[in-house]
Structure 1
Amino acid sequence: MEKITFEVLGSSPEPYTVRFIKNSPSELSAFCSCRAGENGQHCKHRIMILQGDKKSIVSDNSVEVATVESWFKGSNIEKKLQSVHDLEFQQKKLKTLLAVAKKDLANSMRS
């Protein structure tokens, strides 16, 4: 088992702790001390690091983001994150289509 821990800036005055654990070649765990992470919810701090974003890291080990990215590829988390991204994209498309449909409805009512 391998572990990497980062300190990241967030909305709290104190940095959050983000920890990645490679349990096996395809199993990765990620924990964050932010409120969302502590409550088992979607946490942007973990996602940012998984996607190679180093800008919020305040610990002196930001070079280890590349290692975490390598753990992420082919992991149990990669497909699930891709599913979230796909659904977010669909949601944006549906929001646009809904806005057009509402405008069309409003225009029809004025005729």
Structure 2
Amino acid sequence: MRWVEARSYVGPDRRKAVKFRWLERRKADLATHLPAIQVMLRQLHLRVLDVATAREAVEQFQLRLDVASHSVREAGEQEAAYHLSLIAAKLEQRRAEGELTSHDIQEVQEQSAAALCALR
């Protein structure tokens, strides 16, 4: 899977695998391969702070969380996948109730750190 991280879009590369793109708006190819699982979980751990400060960052965090949990499950890391599922459940619960509190952010950060430690 190729991954794009730009100011306007963060997520999987949605373009078709064509060598020559006629009238392509995006001139530079910003897509890269997914980082290693450890790197992905570290980035996820740091992005928790973005979720605490910016409401629109929750969508990007959720997308990163989905990709990271899928990659962790494919790698067979069950304990890390469990911690990521707890994060997803917490986000889903708090979205339904309203807003994330600072206590929730701290719990999410602890769970992401636990997922990272579970890989070692």
TM-score range, shorter chain: 0.3 to 0.5
- Select the structure that is richer in strand: 1
State the TM-score, normalizing by the size of structure 2: 0.35
- Select the structure that is richer in helix: 2
Task: Tell which structure's C-alpha radius of gyration is larger.
Answer: 1
Greater RCO structure (CA 8 Å; 6+ sep): 2
State the TM-score, normalizing by the size of structure 1: 0.37
